[in-house]
Copies of this chain bind each other. A is one copy, B any other.
């Protein structure tokens, strides 16, 4: 029987014990895709079935679970070498990251792609130091692409959302093509600076171990600028049409002005942490972009295409040319209904790397 939560309530999900949610789901993913990925438990990380390529930079990401298929679904040829899933909406621990790094190190260094949430940032920094202590060369790059809010419940600065998926694909391809670590680090920073996102929630998600919605939304309300853990966004509005929602999100992204912030990054030459000032250049008429419409987990694909339709019109009106796109649920918030839009300004190198072959559970082409 299904375990009952406090108060005798069961939660309407396809789960066994709420605390086994991640373990069961990862195990199922690994069995379904045993030619691509394996899962290691205690500490938990997902890695490629094929042994690490010597001389290739390895790419590792991770973060709280509940955003599937991110990140475990992006492990495989052309994308990640390993992923470290934490508990639901909870950062993975440094020992997971260290174990993953030891497993996939091919001697050419490792890039940690880290979404900008305080717990993730702290633990990946700690893992960077631990790995360096073991002689593994690691650099971490933050993704902070969510234009909705500057600071948030779990974040200093902007949150990391949809651009993460694109950075993992593009940097993963670069690693397969033999880019060196400093080149991939520069590329990953460039993707982050040129990627912008914003989301909307029509309903809350429900964390399995809690069993009740994370936040309350009225029958006719939506939360604009929602975070992927249900963190508050910019404002709560009355529900509007898909076209109006697409406009709010797209215009917030397109009209986002130059954004600068200071981030802490490992300086390879100095061998220490340094503060680096990063500046997002604004989007300009004539830019080529990748348009990504992402589902939050409980919204069907049919609705995402309705958003994409209006997004394409807006980009056209603003003089942005969509040269690549991605429509589907790739960075989710459990069963939340809603979507996010990401626009990434592309250069020719990024296009080539986006198009490169990829074989992962969730993205596969070429």
A9 to chain B minimum Cβ distance, whole angstroms, is 8
A45 interface residue per 8 A CB criterion: no
* Contact assessment for B68 and A300 in the assembled complex, using a CB-CB cutoff below 8 Å: yes
Number of interface residues of A (CB under 8 A): 63
A24 interface residue per 8 A CB criterion: yes
A29 interface residue per 8 A CB criterion: yes
* Contact assessment for B31 and A306 in the assembled complex, using a CB-CB cutoff below 8 Å: no
| Given A32-B308, A306-B16, A325-B32, A239 and B25 contact (CB-CB distance below 8 Å) | no
* Contact assessment for A301 and B10 in the assembled complex, using a CB-CB cutoff below 8 Å: no
| Given A32-B325, A244-B1, A300-B297, A339 and B305 contact (CB-CB distance below 8 Å) | no
Nearest residue (CB) in B for A301 is B68
Q: Which residues of B contact A83 (CB under 8 A)?
A: none
A203 interface residue per 8 A CB criterion: yes
What is the copy number of this chain in the assembly? 2
A54 to chain B minimum Cβ distance, whole angstroms, is 28
A349 to chain B minimum Cβ distance, whole angstroms, is 21
**In the docked arrangement, what's the CA distance between A239 and B1, Å?**
8
The residue from B9, B241, B300 contacting A335, defined by CB atoms under 8 A apart: B300
| Given A13-B202, A242-B14, A308-B31, A298 and B298 contact (CB-CB distance below 8 Å) | yes
Nearest residue (CB) in B for A200 is B14
Nearest residue (CB) in B for A313 is B31
Q: Which residues of B contact A306 (CB under 8 A)?
A: 14-16, 21, 24-25, 28
Restricting to A1-36, which residues have a CB under 8 Å from any CB of B? 1-3, 9-10, 12-17, 21, 24-29, 31-32
* Contact assessment for A303 and B13 in the assembled complex, using a CB-CB cutoff below 8 Å: yes
| Given A2-B239, A306-B25, A299 and B244 contact (CB-CB distance below 8 Å) | no
Restricting to A324-347, which residues have a CB under 8 Å from any CB of B? 325, 327, 329, 332, 334-335, 337-339
* Contact assessment for B27 and A309 in the assembled complex, using a CB-CB cutoff below 8 Å: yes
A248 interface residue per 8 A CB criterion: no
* Contact assessment for B309 and A15 in the assembled complex, using a CB-CB cutoff below 8 Å: no
**In the docked arrangement, what's the CA distance between A338 and B14, Å?**
8
Restricting to A289-323, which residues have a CB under 8 Å from any CB of B? 297-310, 312
* Contact assessment for A301 and B327 in the assembled complex, using a CB-CB cutoff below 8 Å: no
10 closest Cβ pairs, A-B complex: A28-B305, A28-B309, A14-B303, A68-B302, A297-B300, A28-B308, A2-B241, A14-B242, A24-B306, A25-B302
Q: A10-B239, A13-B202, A29-B305 are in contact. List 9 more A-B contacts (CB 8 A).
A: A12-B337, A13-B303, A14-B307, A15-B303, A24-B306, A32-B325, A301-B332, A364-B364, A365-B365
